[in-house]
């Protein structure tokens, strides 16, 4: 047998379907299918909405500005920490 869904054959799918009928009953199956269909429809609508939002964001944003390189900056001398301005020579 060839696998139909996720490696499950016909026999396995029939067993799963039979267990579902036993668990929920034949009367509940249409209601379950209807609820599943609604949930799937809502899920598809939400994912489509997210995709549309992403497309709108791509069209409204402009390209980022290139980073400007800083111009040549001259080094700044550090101010003297001595209060009288005279430099002290310490022998090391």
What is the span of the domain harbouring residue 41?
A: 28-60
- Asked if residue 43 is part of any domain, the answer here is yes
- Asked if residue 44 is part of any domain, the answer here is yes
pLDDT digits (tens, 9 = 90+) for 69-79: 777 777 778 77
Structure tokens at 18: 């039979």
Paired residues of 5 in beta bridges:
8
- Asked if residue 70 is part of any domain, the answer here is no
pLDDT of 83 higher than 60: no
Number of domains in the chain: 1
- Asked if residue 55 is part of any domain, the answer here is yes
Residue 57 vs residue 6, higher pLDDT: 6
- Asked if residue 38 is part of any domain, the answer here is yes
pLDDT of 88 higher than 70: no
Overall pTM > 0.85: no
- Asked if residue 82 is part of any domain, the answer here is no
pLDDT of 3 higher than 60: no
Mapped onto helix, strand or coil, the DSSP state of residue 41 is helix
- Asked if residue 15 is part of any domain, the answer here is no
């Amino acid at each position: 047998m060839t696998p139909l869904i996720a490696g499950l054959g016909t026999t396995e799918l029939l067993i799963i379907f039979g267990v579902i009928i036993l668990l929920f009953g034949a009367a509940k199956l249409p209601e379950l299918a209807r609820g599943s269909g609604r949930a799937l429809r809502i899920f598809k609508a939400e994912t489509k909405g997210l995709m549309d939002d992403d497309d709108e964001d791509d069209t409204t944003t402009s390209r980022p500005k290139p980073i400007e390189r800083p111009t040549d900056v001259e080094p700044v001398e550090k101010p003297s920490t001595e209060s009288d301005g005279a430099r002290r020579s310490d022998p090391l």
